[in-house]
Amino acid sequence: MSSILFNHVNKTYGKDKKPVVKDFNLRVEEKEFIVLVGPSGCGKSTTLRMLAGLEDISDGEIFINDQKVNDLPPKNRDIAMVFQSYALYPNMSIYENIAFGLRLRKVPKSEIDLAVKRAARVLEIENYLDRKPRQLSGGQRQRVALGRAIVREPKVFLMDEPLSNLDAKLRVQMRTEIIRLQKQLGVTTIYVTHDQTEAMTMGDRIVVMNDGIVQQVDTPERIYNAPVNRFVASFVGSPPMNFIEGKLSEDTHRLYFETRRFKLELPGGKVLPHLQRYIGKSITLGIRAENISIEQIVFDAYPNSVFQGIHRFSELMGADRFIYVQIGNEQDVVVRINPRYHFQPQQQIKLAIDMNKALFFDPNSGVCVG
């Protein structure tokens, strides 16, 4: 059981000191499952590799259990890493692959045997121990790679996109298995992925990164419902959050969000002091697809947040239908509706926004302001 602390960690590469991780700060609690998520190239792997000791830290400090590890060689950090490519030894049996690390460390044979069998049982690969890697499926091979990490009983697991090579169905299944395993073993884990669904479903907390900079560290619920900026709001969730450009106005002590085409009243609860300074100014409204409605009952409840659009096209997603609706010049929103409703292209559609769920963003900085 271990905690991890990143304290103002920076990474630069090459002579021109190109920064790829900028002022990274994070405390990971014992037994926590942390997911680092962000677009490709945002510095996730570099962060993980600095913790593992595979990459120098340009500036700042990393601690494992209050021990500074900056200058500790990788093998002394007691970390096990699992990568996207499982890198199994093709000529060794599964048993030997799992045992390999322990053999190197001259662990007694009987102990190795116990550890390998225990891991194989947990991962349900007991029946494959005599096989060679090529005789296993991708998912089974990834389990062997996990087995190799487990038998070392490390302080920390690091996983770098371990499921990226698997097909969609297996990926979903392995997600659950990794979480179960991690809870069962109680090993502090940092998991890297570019896949927001993986992050949302797996993390106790999620670290969203962009361009080397941590954007937000929070629970999945808060990342989804209270994103700190437009980047987080649009990176997480499928379909991505809708953004509507407009301005804020005030009329007889009520606040309105206005575009050229429509005007929506903000509920009393939204007349918050931090929105006051946007009155008469541009602001961006953010609303998720499930918080726009086409139901009469919602129109009746919120008559001052109803507006019109033109249906462009729909996507049937099984349990939901996503409709794309033009609500201004070059401005579309996507709305999640019940698939029993059908619309023709170019059909007029009435919409209502649940303004209690609306978020507001500064149009210049992208910061969420309410």
Q: What residues make contact with Mg ion under the rule CB under 5 A? A: 45
Angle at which helices 109-122 and 138-150 pack, to 10 degrees?
Answer: 130
> Which residue, 21 or 181, is less far from Mg ion as judged by CB?
21
What is the contact surface with ligand ADP in residues (CB under 6 A)? Answer: 13-14, 20, 38, 40-46
Tell me, what amino acid is at 111? E
- Chain center to CA of 274: 28
Residue 141 binds which entry of ligand ADP, Mg ion, none, with Cβ cut-offs from 5 to 8 Å by kind? none
Residue 2 interaction partner, one of ligand ADP, Mg ion, none, beta carbon < 5-8 Å per kind:
none
Kindly compute the dihedral angle of the four CA atoms of residues 195, 311, 343, 256, in this order, to the nearest 10 degrees: 90
For the bound state, the minimum distance from the C-beta of residue 38 to ligand ADP, rounded and expressed in Å, comes to 6
- 87/114 with CB nearer ligand ADP: 87
Q: How far is the CB of 270 from ligand ADP (least distance, A)?
A: 36
Are 336 and 322 within 8 A, CB to CB? yes
Residue type, 19: P
CB of 18 to ligand ADP, least distance (A): 6
Q: Counting Cβ atoms within 10 Å, is residue 50 exposed (0-12), middle (13-18) or buried (19+)?
A: buried
| Least Cβ distance, residue 163 to Mg ion (angstroms) | 13
Identify what 43 binds: ligand ADP, Mg ion, none; CB under 5 to 8 Å per kind: ligand ADP
State the nearest-atom distance from the C-beta of 46 to ligand ADP, in Å.
3
- The residue number whose beta carbon is nearest to Mg ion equals 45
Let me know how long the chain is: 370
Per DSSP bridges, beta strands 156-160 and 79-83 are: parallel
Residue 198, Cβ density class (10 Å: 0-12 exposed, 13-18 middle, ≥19 buried): buried
Q: Which does 42 bind (CB under 5 to 8 A by kind): Mg ion, ligand ADP, none?
A: ligand ADP
Residue 90's binding partner among ligand ADP, Mg ion, none (Cβ under 5 to 8 angstroms by kind) is none
| Least distance in angstroms from the C-beta of 84 to ligand ADP | 10
What are all long-range contacts of 255-259, with beta carbons under 8 Å and residues at least 24 apart? 255/279, 257/283, 257/285, 257/355, 257/358, 257/360, 259/327, 259/328, 259/331
| Residue 41 site contact among Mg ion, ligand ADP, none (CB < 5 to 8 Å, cut-off depends on kind) | ligand ADP
Q: Which is nearer to ligand ADP, 43 or 133 (CB)?
A: 43
